Structure 1
Amino acid sequence: MGRNLFFFFLFFSIFHFSQKPIFVKARINAVNVYRTSAELRNSVNVNFPAGTSEIVITNISDEIVDKSIQINTNNKSLSILSAQYRDSYHSNYLEKNNPNKKRIKDSITTAENLIAKIGIERQTNEKTLELLDKNQALLVGSNTSSVAHLMQLTDYYKTKRNEISIAQLDITKKYNEAILKLENLKNRLKSSTESEETSSEGVIVLKVTSSIAGNVKMDVDYLAENVFWEPFYEVKGNRLSEPLDITFKAKVRQDTGLDWKSVKLSLINGRSSRNNDAPAMSPWFLNSHKKEERPIASYSRRKQDTVSKERNIEEVVMIGYNGFKINENQLNVSFDVDIPYDILSNDEDHFIQLKQIKVPADYKYYTVPKQGAHVYLMADIKDFSKYNLIPGAANIIFENMYIGETRINPDQIDDKLSITLGDDKRISVRKEIINDKASEKLFSSYQEKTYTYDLIIRNNKKETITIDIKDQIPLSKDESVKIELIQSDNADFDKEKGFLTWNAKISPSETKKIRVSYKVRYPKDFSISNLH
């Protein structure tokens, strides 16, 4: 009796744990798109029996990050024992569910084996022909004792070569037919797969247990790679008396292996090739040292340059717009797109227009003659934080002409945001050295150099312009090196940074000249490498 009871429970256990897997297809409902990845939010409905079951969730991206899988359900009677991603799922149950697919797969295997065998036979014949041709050449060049023997060998060569060549034609025909059949079978398999509306062979296998049978809805979320998005602006201006027309777009592309159809998108946190950025200046420190010392590059300058570059690439603030719901937490800010979108898995850019706004701006011109003979048209936007802008590339179009590309960077501490609208060729600028005002004096213990130059700006436009002109004089961290500003024509002088700034109004066809003169005094045994 006890033995019979043991076999009963053993049979029950085997039956209980070998139930047919439950296959369900995941549907992507929403996608949280990060800059280089995305969280795919799926849902499935499962009918499950009492006891332990294996649930196979299909339509899972091959780009999944395994550790990110999250399964959620409100059914308290169902416990999830494990969740594991597999790039494919092979099972007798699966093949029984689609016998036609199994037959096609078996035929593909047979066709591949046949092609391999034909390939071997064709290669063997090719080697035989090579050997025959090689021996024939040896026979022709050898001293054969008998003409009859030579004729016999020649006839054999002709007969055998003709036989193998004809066989090769037949083999090649069979090979091409087999290749064509294999391609047809693969196309049939693809059609069969598409008819089942499966887009990926990846699956998530769940082991679950429940005290009662029932139906449950599960949320299946995971992170997938090979997804990218970046902000993109189009800035249009017509006249200096009109506001800027700024269109904000998102450029999204993905190659997860799954097409996103009618999904709710949330763009989260997240990053030009003509360079149209107006130059920025850094303080200019002299490299001074005694003449017997070896010049050393200024660490301070290098460090400042590095900091400046690092600051330029910081892009960490997200935005929200009208037509989008803004969500903010301690880590990031996101905005949710109201309209469902289709984003195909083709690694091509998909543009989503998010917002178009008119922004009042103060227009002015800006030039740094030391860094080039360019005059840039700038648009200054006050209270820019209320427009929820984030760093991104921008195409500039002014007076219906494409100017180039610049960057919008609102991550700054200034009270206004400046956007470079382009280089205006109708305003000319140059720096002219005044040699007769330059001097170099040598005293008993020190030497003194004086530098004088003019900044010349001409307005060739038909209207008066307002322009900011920026220049600089050197600084020194060595107390024995003294710099004195002699003339600056009423510049706004930042002594700490050495910057000189002029704000001028220049009438049409007017030329404005600004003179700058400074003196550098340093010990006689010093040499300065970057003074110019």
Structure 2
Amino acid sequence: MVKINVLAFVLVISNCFGQENYTTTNSKIREAKIYSNGGMLKQSFSAEVVPGKNFIIVNEFGRNRGIEISSFKPDKKITLIKYESYSNNPTLYADKLGKNKKTELLNDSIEVYRKINKDFDQELLLTRNSIGIIQKNQALGNPSSTEIIKMIEFNKATLKNLYLEEQTLQAKIAVNQAKISALEGKRYSSTRNDETKNNNIIVLQVNSDKKQTVNFEVNQYIQEANWRPFYIIKSNGIKSPLKISYKAKIQQNTGLEFKNIPIKLINGSFSAEERPYDLQRWFLRTERDQYVSNLVYQKPKVKSNPREKNIEEVVLLGESNKIAQRTMKTEISLDKNVILPSDVEVTEDLNDFEVTTTYKYISTPKLDNKTFLLASIKDYSKYNFLPGDADIFMEDLQIGTVNIDTNQLTSEMLISLGSDPNVLTKRELVNKETKDLGENGKFESYSYEITVKNNKSAAIVLEMKDQIPVSTAENIKIEAINPDNANYDKSSGFLTWNFEIKPNETKKIKFGFNVTLPKDLITLDIK
């Protein structure tokens, strides 16, 4: 008797640990962090497990998983075996999830209407056969007038009813077919929804030595997620502050809807490992001046965007490796009412504020006759701006898009509000002279005139820039002539004028330079 009881106990234990247990649960997002590229989801779910092998079917887990089995953190002692996407083996897990009741109801309704239409089709066939029989047996041999009248009356009564019945059956079949088509459309949508839903399901395999409730925490890396700052900047004139709308364009492709959860936006790319850079040995590199056809050394030209012209210095003496500066990341918490659907880019408002602003006009007529209006924002770091594009509006008229550059070492940020066609500039080379100095070489003199006209109804402050060339050799002497009260930096050759110009006023600025150089050298690109 004891042996039988022991054997029964062994069988019970064997059955408990030998059977596979399937349980279904739903994952819940606790927090979402979206970086400029990539992101992280914190999720959690609970499941009842029994002794032996357990398959935990986790709904609403999301796509783009990119996680290891070690990322699942249980709060109880179990053995994690593996996880896989439900869509990898749908036939194995379909019965465990249960059939879609909505789809089953749609299938039942479609079958009912198809059965009714089958009966209607049979009735329609009989009706059409009856019409055919009557039409084939209308001929009479030498009929009397009475027989003809009877035949006519029969046709009117019988055929008329048969034709009416035919039309009625056709109409009923058409109505039912329309209902079937509508139901099939709903079934198709339901099936597609099931497919989408199945893509968000994983199956986690675990072993447990006892029956228990296990809580899981998961940090899930999101590959397909990103956000970028975006601004709308409005100005109502140079006497009013800037109105700035700070926005974020956000996208995530997890297959889940982010709703009623903490969502944080973080600048920079997500990286599981961030370390500071190490300096390497710096070997000084130099270049020889390049002379072509015995001409003065010229800096190689670089193709650039015509909208991004800058006055540059003449000489580049060496090169060095650049070390990128890393800054601490900025974190922005969204309102909990924000909803982020999957696979759709959305724009969310972050902040709206007015910024006390000073305005100034800047012109470099050597490069372009346009005069640009710039807005200066002092202590801009307190607004937590990040680099991004901005739509610029002047007096409710969109004038273009600029890039907000926050990587500046000064406390002032300049934002270009576009060119003002009411401030005109013109630069001309008005005089050029060349003299022979004999064995000492030759002498060249250049004179310029810049004309500025303010067609606006208000006075403006204008900063205008030009330049004097910089010598690259001891035997080439350059002297600035009559810089007309400019701030002249001899090391760079830059000339800067700051002055006020009244409404409808025209100003003329004159300057020039002299060059003494050997006879066998020719100056280039002076205009």
Q: Normalising by structure 1, what TM-score?
A: 0.68
Cα offset for 1:412? 0.5
Of residues 394, 398, 411, the one that matches 1:398 is: 394
CA contact (8 A) 2:86 2:198 kept: no
CA contact (8 A) 2:392 2:417 kept: yes
Match of 1:517 in 2: 512
Deviations 1:463-502 (A, max 9, x none): 1110100112222333333322122111112223221111
Q: Which has the larger radius of gyration?
A: 2
Letter in 2 for 1:353: D
Match of 2:449 in 1: 454
Q: Counterparts of 2:202 and 2:383 in 1: how far apart (Å)?
A: 43
Change (3 A) 1:477 1:80: farther
Change (3 A) 1:455 1:362: same
Correspondence 1:364-403 to 2 at 5 A: 364-403=360-399
CA contact (8 A) 2:32 2:40 kept: yes
Change (3 A) 1:211 1:298: same
Match of 1:90 in 2: 90
Letter in 1 for 2:329: N
Cα offset for 1:15? 5.6
| SS of the residue 2:36 aligns to | coil
Cα offset for 1:445? 4.7
Question: Is 2:43 aligned against 1:77?
Answer: no
Cα offset for 1:52? 3.9
Q: Counterparts of 2:18 and 2:181 in 1: how far apart (Å)?
A: 39
Question: Is 2:57 aligned against 1:59?
Answer: no
Cα offset for 1:6? 10
Runs of 5+ unmatched residues, structure 1? 108-180, 272-286, 318-330
Change (3 A) 1:446 1:182: farther
Runs of 5+ unmatched residues, structure 2? 108-179, 270-288, 303-311
Change (3 A) 1:389 1:36: same
35-44 or 225-234, which moves further after superposition?
Answer: 35-44
Question: Is 2:485 aligned against 1:490?
Answer: yes
Letter in 1 for 2:365: P
Cα offset for 1:418? 0.7
Q: Counterparts of 1:444 and 1:342 in 2: how far apart (Å)?
A: 81
Cα offset for 1:41? 2.6
Cα offset for 1:66? 4.0
Letter in 2 for 1:298: P
Of residues 237, 251, 254, the one that matches 2:252 is: 254
Deviations 1:486-521 (A, max 9, x none): 221111122232211110100111111111201233
| SS of the residue 1:369 aligns to | coil
CA contact (8 A) 1:488 1:516 kept: yes
Match of 1:342 in 2: 339
Change (3 A) 1:360 1:297: closer
Change (3 A) 1:13 1:482: farther
Q: Counterparts of 1:10 and 1:20 in 2: how far apart (Å)?
A: 17
CA contact (8 A) 1:467 1:503 kept: yes
Question: Is 2:205 aligned against 1:207?
Answer: yes
Match of 1:430 in 2: 426
Change (3 A) 1:497 1:18: farther
CA contact (8 A) 1:20 1:93 kept: no
Deviations 1:276-308 (A, max 9, x none): xxxxxxxxxxx873634897753998998xx9x
Cα offset for 1:183? 11
Deviations 1:378-408 (A, max 9, x none): 1111111111111111111122222211122
Cα offset for 1:264? 2.4
Cα offset for 1:88? 2.9
355-364 or 14-23, which moves further after superposition?
Answer: 14-23
Q: Counterparts of 1:442 and 1:455 in 2: how far apart (Å)?
A: 30
CA contact (8 A) 1:88 1:201 kept: no
Q: Counterparts of 1:384 and 1:429 in 2: how far apart (Å)?
A: 31
CA contact (8 A) 1:244 1:360 kept: yes
CA contact (8 A) 1:288 1:526 kept: no
Change (3 A) 1:34 1:290: closer
Correspondence 1:80-479 to 2 at 5 A: 80-85=80-85, 87-99=87-99, 188=187, 190-191=189-190, 194=193, 199-270=197-268, 289=291, 291-292=293-294, 298=300, 332-347=329-344, 349-435=345-431, 437-439=432-434, 441=436, 443-479=438-474
Cα offset for 1:100? 6.0
Q: Counterparts of 1:202 and 1:346 in 2: how far apart (Å)?
A: 14
| SS of the residue 1:497 aligns to | coil
CA contact (8 A) 1:463 1:507 kept: yes
Q: Counterparts of 1:205 and 1:87 in 2: how far apart (Å)?
A: 10
Letter in 2 for 1:62: R
Q: Counterparts of 2:182 and 2:416 in 1: how far apart (Å)?
A: 56
Q: Percent identity?
A: 29
Deviations 1:354-383 (A, max 9, x none): 101111111111111112111111111111
Match of 2:156 in 1: none
Cα offset for 1:249? 0.3
Q: Counterparts of 1:447 and 1:290 in 2: how far apart (Å)?
A: 20
Q: Counterparts of 1:197 and 1:42 in 2: how far apart (Å)?
A: 22
Query: Across the two proteins, how many residue pairs are aligned to each other?
Result: 420
294-303 or 201-210, which moves further after superposition?
Answer: 294-303
**Backbone CA RMSD of aligned residues:** 4.0
Question: Is 2:12 aligned against 1:21?
Answer: no
Q: Counterparts of 1:508 and 1:406 in 2: how far apart (Å)?
A: 28
Match of 2:112 in 1: none
Q: Counterparts of 2:487 and 2:258 in 1: how far apart (Å)?
A: 57
Deviations 1:247-288 (A, max 9, x none): 1000112333333333321101139xxxxxxxxxxxxxxx87
